[in-house]
Amino acid sequence: MAELLLELFSEEIPARMQGRAAEDLKRLVVDGLKARGLEAGAAQAYATPRRLTLVVEGVPAKSPGISEERKGPRVGAPEQAIAGFVKSAGLKSIKDAQVVTDEKKGDFYVVKIEKPGRKAGEIVAEVVPDVALKFPWPKSMRFNRALDNKDAELRSDQGAEFRSDKGAELRWVRPLQSIVCLLDGKVVPFAIAGIKAGAVTRGHRFLGNEDFNVGGFADYGRKLKSHKVLLPASERAEMIREQAEALAKQHKLALVADEALLMENAGLTEWPTVLTGSFDAAFLEVPAECLMLSMKQHQKCFSLKHPKTGKLANKFLAVSNLIAKDRGKQIIAGNEKVIAARLSDARFFWQQDLKRPLDEMGLALKDITFHEKLGSQWDRVERVAELAHQIAGAVDAVPEDARRAAQLAKADLVSGMVGEFPELQGLMGRTYAEAAGAKPEIARAVELHYKPKGPSDTVPKVDEGDAVAVAVALADKLDTLVGFWAIGEKPTGSGDPYQLRRAALGVIRIVLENDLRLSLIAALGPSLARIGLRPFEQKVRREIEAADVLETAGVSKSLVEKVLRANFDLEKGGTENVLGMIREAQRIVSDLLTFFADRLKVHLREKGARHDLIDAVFALDGQDDLALIVKRVEALAEFLKTDDGANLLAGVKRAANILTIEEKKDKRSHAGTPDGALLVAPEEKGLAAAIAKVKFDTQAAINVENFAGAMRALSELRAPVDAFFDHVTVNADDAALRENRLRLLSEIRAATLSVADFSRIAG
């Protein structure tokens, strides 16, 4: 078994592309070898600013031979078919094929093709150029390249092409300079756009910029290090961390940890050196987050803080890619000059923003379109404020505080600071609110209402004093979902441009982690009133309380009544308009509840819950309280782990199956209350009595949210159901008896439906 070493050496590769490029190189080369029959061992890819490196262990000397039998046309087939077979099989004539007789299909031609194995070097020489010519850089450059590198003509646009005298085209992120390709220490001969593979590379641009030969991966790694190149990004990151922490300690300060910045600097350097700089302490009047972000974005510098107070210090750490003879004085001076200019900009934005109250900034939202079909950002703020006011009671927040926080939540979007640093939205709103003397809980809500921003982010907590933030965060996400659902902009399998899945998951996490009792149907109401049902608002003039209207509509009153009653002040008018509004509300709410059910499945599945149990609970009418749904699912899961639960599930499913078959045969439903006079067998009398008791007990337990108690009550059905099926014939000869027993089976199903739809449970 041999070792394959590949290095593609170029001008600087952007740090953000390096990790993905290294993985792509490994995947494409290994897959290319495998596709050609060369199964190799472990592979590892590396990236530095100027090189992509791949080492593959356990490469066989050659690929295995292949023996293939190919079936051709029947004897006597048209000449065109036979000629095609001869050509595809690589035969000189059809006489080289064998004739095989099939009793049913007659005689046909067969040829055996023997393909000998190919040498590994030959396959590698084929795979690497193919990978390079099709490499999936997200962005690259295009230029023509002759055999002489010095005569290269460079053009910058969206992709890169190298043209050799043979017409090969290469797209690469930056000009490719050289290729190292060694198999078992020997050069694999090939060329890509005029660049020949060899065994020569070079070290650090400034500290070891000379060519040197390599003989294998171990030799390659040693020589790179001696030429001041650390190949693994993890080693460069650790080198930066150690130097940064040592310098921070030297100045009696603490490093502000930032893993993303650490890895970015590792991608910008091959031999990192950390240096200390400072800036004017007068800049510290600007919020620390603004200063830190400015230094990070513009100069990739780390911030330092005072360990006791946690306040930002007027010093920073810069990472250089060389060891300067003057100990970095010029490098630091240059960084300090640029940082001073950048921090001056930040201070200007801060000072200018303070001259405008958030309410004044908020007025500018009228001129900013949120979505052409959903109005301006101002319109959206008004909707969120109304919804936050209504949700507040459910989260123990002061309604007026929730409304006020929502009115201020988006105002900082028009601030100069957020215009320069969009990442600071929310945080700057909180800062400006605090500067204006807003209540602490309102100011915090302005910042926290965006949370959670992702699966690893935290959620605002009621028990930590952020009830107002919880109300605004829920309102913001629910309004977004209703709005885009109403205009038909729902997520698809291939895209979610408005991040609606994240919004729904945010609602789920906020509700569950705060254990909130919140009806989604009622919570969706204000936004439905302002967005989803806007076309009907001007037309509807009839009270929705009218039972005849709801019955005529044929819709579930429990699904939409809360929405319509709470959010429309309707007078008497045309019935058709009322029906249209009800149906539109039902469509949006039903679809959104299904979407929440899907998101809840994903969330709970990651925690080990069964998705079929979630389906079984969501199938019940009016299930829109997420926290209660989860409690039901948990109680149901525990119940089904018991013998009583497993056996009852089997009995309920048996009853449901019989009903399905018989109702299909009879072409009608057998739902209804059994006739007590027709309960003949002791087992059916016992089952009827047990069902009546269980219905009462389960409902009583559910009314006080005692789902474990509801499951215990349900378990009392197990023995009567088993006894019924053991001793009673459902399809009795007596038609009346059969009908009564089918109704009894229907009652089993009805009794369990107060807990979950058992027909949706696997098992």
Answer whether residue 111 is part of any domain.
yes
Rounding to the nearest 10 degrees, give the CA dihedral for residues 632, 637, 643, 645: 40
Does the pLDDT of residue 763 top 80, yes or no? Answer: no
Specify the pLDDT at position 146.
Answer: 44
What would the mean pLDDT of 528-556 be, rounded to a whole number?
44
Specify the pLDDT at position 91.
Answer: 84
Three-state DSSP state, 382 = helix
- 296 and 159 within one domain: no
User: Tokens standing for 502?
Assistant: 């994240």
User: Tokens standing for 453?
Assistant: 């921003």
pLDDT bin (cut points 50, 70, 90) of residue 548 is: very low
pLDDT bin (cut points 50, 70, 90) of residue 589 is: confident
Which of 292-296, 544-548, 602-606 has the weakest average pLDDT?
544-548
Cα four-point dihedral sign 467, 473, 479, 481: negative
Q: Which residues contact 623 (CB under 8 A, 6 or more apart)?
A: 593, 617, 629
Buried b (16+ CB within 10 A) or exposed e, 129-162: bebbbebebeebbbbebeeeeeeeeeeeeeebbb
- 642 and 568 within one domain: no
What would the mean pLDDT of 169-174 be, rounded to a whole number?
88
577 versus 170: which is more confidently predicted?
170
Compute the distance between CA of residue 693 and CA of residue 702 in angstroms, rounded to an integer.
Answer: 14
C-alpha distances out from residue 56 to 1, 324, 381, 668, Å: 11, 37, 56, 68
Which of 322-326, 492-496, 564-568, 615-619 has the weakest average pLDDT?
564-568
- 526 and 582 within one domain: yes
Answer whether residue 614 is part of any domain.
no
- 89 and 188 within one domain: no
Rounding to the nearest 10 degrees, give the CA dihedral for residues 509, 513, 514, 520: 30
Does the pLDDT of residue 249 top 60, yes or no? Answer: yes
Compute the distance between CA of residue 642 and CA of residue 119 in angstroms, rounded to an integer.
Answer: 61
Contact 496, 601 (CB under 8 A): no
Compute the distance between CA of residue 113 and CA of residue 67 in angstroms, rounded to an integer.
Answer: 6
Question: Can you say whether residue 612 is alpha, beta or left, with left for phi > 0 and alpha for psi between -120 and 50 degrees?
Answer: alpha
Reported in sequence order, the residue ranges of 372-526 that DSSP labels E, i.e. its strands, are 375-376
Angle at 738 between CA 737 and CA 742, to 5 degrees: 115
Helix H segments across 514-642? 520-523, 525-527, 534-537, 547-553, 557-567, 575-605, 611-618, 626-640
φ, ψ at 637 (rounded to 5°): -60, -45
DSSP letter at 368 equals S
What would the mean pLDDT of 27-53 be, rounded to a whole number?
95
R_g of the chain computed on alpha carbons? 36
Reported in sequence order, the residue ranges of 631-717 that DSSP labels E, i.e. its strands, are none
Question: Can you say whether residue 8 is alpha, beta or left, with left for phi > 0 and alpha for psi between -120 and 50 degrees?
Answer: beta
Residue positions counted in the chain? 763
Q: Nearest Cα to 242, choosing from 220, 269, 202, 273? A: 273
CA of residue 193 relative to chain centroid, distance:
39
Answer whether residue 12 is part of any domain.
yes
- 534 and 459 within one domain: yes
Contact 563, 521 (CB under 8 A): yes
Buried b (16+ CB within 10 A) or exposed e, 194-217: bbebbbebbbbbeebeeebebebb
- 497 and 372 within one domain: yes
Q: Give 128-168 pLDDT, tens digit per residue.
A: 999 999 999 998 887 544 434 443 333 333 333 333 334 45
CA of residue 371 relative to chain centroid, distance:
23
Q: What is the CATH number of the domain that holds 152?
A: 3.30.70
Compute the distance between CA of residue 518 and CA of residue 168 in angstroms, rounded to an integer.
Answer: 64
What would the mean pLDDT of 273-277 be, rounded to a whole number?
97
Specify the pLDDT at position 269.
Answer: 97
Answer whether residue 613 is part of any domain.
no
Three-state DSSP state, 224 = helix
pLDDT bin (cut points 50, 70, 90) of residue 71 is: confident
Specify the pLDDT at position 582.
Answer: 63
Helix H segments across 186-328? 217-226, 233-250, 259-268, 288-299
Give the residue from 173, 208, 226 where a domain finishes. Answer: 226
Q: Give 490-509 pLDDT, tens digit per residue.
A: 998 888 999 999 999 999 99
Answer whether residue 616 is part of any domain.
no
- 492 and 431 within one domain: yes
Q: Give 381-435 pLDDT, tens digit per residue.
A: 999 999 999 999 999 999 999 999 999 999 999 999 999 999 999 999 999 999 9
Specify the pLDDT at position 571.
Answer: 43
Specify the pLDDT at position 550.
Answer: 42
The pLDDT > 90 percentage for the chain reads: 57
Specify the pLDDT at position 606.
Answer: 84
Specify the pLDDT at position 526.
Answer: 67
C-alpha distances out from residue 467 to 196, 386, 476, Å: 66, 16, 14
Answer whether residue 615 is part of any domain.
no
pLDDT bin (cut points 50, 70, 90) of residue 549 is: very low
Which of 21-35, 558-572, 669-683 has the weakest average pLDDT?
558-572
- 679 and 600 within one domain: no
Strands 369-371 and 375-376: antiparallel
Compute the distance between CA of residue 756 and CA of residue 753 in angstroms, rounded to an integer.
Answer: 5
Answer whether residue 617 is part of any domain.
no
The identity of residue 216, as a single letter, is: G
Which of 68-72, 329-333, 360-364, 704-708 has the weakest average pLDDT?
68-72
pLDDT bin (cut points 50, 70, 90) of residue 607 is: confident
Give the residue from 195, 226, 257 where a domain finishes. Answer: 226
Specify the pLDDT at position 541.
Answer: 33
The identity of residue 567, as a single letter, is: N
Specify the pLDDT at position 579.
Answer: 57
What would the mean pLDDT of 221-241 be, rounded to a whole number?
97
pLDDT bin (cut points 50, 70, 90) of residue 555 is: very low
Q: What is the CATH number of the domain that holds 696?
A: 1.10.730
Three-state DSSP state, 557 = helix
User: Tokens standing for 442?
Assistant: 């309102």
Specify the pLDDT at position 580.
Answer: 61
- 402 and 378 within one domain: yes
Helix H segments across 134-277? 217-226, 233-250, 259-268
- 672 and 652 within one domain: yes
Answer whether residue 328 is part of any domain.
yes
Q: What is the largest CA-CA distance in the chain?
A: 106
C-alpha distances out from residue 163 to 149, 152, 160, 607, Å: 11, 10, 10, 54
Specify the pLDDT at position 157.
Answer: 35
Averaged confidence pLDDT in the chain: 87
Give the residue from 166, 196, 226 where a domain finishes. Answer: 226
Q: Which helix (H) or strand (E) holds 710?
A: helix 707-715
- 125 and 109 within one domain: no
Task: Count the domains in the chain.
Answer: 5
- 93 and 46 within one domain: no
Q: 376 has which bridge partners?
A: 369
User: Tokens standing for 755?
Assistant: 């807990």
Contact 153, 161 (CB under 8 A): no
Q: Which domain holds residue 89?
A: 68-115
Compute the distance between CA of residue 698 and CA of residue 35 in angstroms, rounded to an integer.
Answer: 61
User: Tokens standing for 519?
Assistant: 């009806």
Specify the pLDDT at position 143.
Answer: 59
Compute the distance between CA of residue 569 and CA of residue 174 in angstroms, rounded to an integer.
Answer: 65
Does the pLDDT of residue 179 top 90, yes or no? Answer: yes
Specify the pLDDT at position 148.
Answer: 41
What would the mean pLDDT of 548-573 be, rounded to a whole number?
46
Q: Which residues contact 198 (CB under 8 A, 6 or more apart)?
A: 178, 179, 180, 181, 187
Q: Nearest Cα to 174, choosing from 229, 137, 130? A: 137
Report the 10 Å Cβ neighbour count for 571. 8
C-alpha distances out from residue 174 to 42, 112, 157, 158, Å: 28, 48, 11, 11
Three-state DSSP state, 538 = coil
Specify the pLDDT at position 162.
Answer: 36
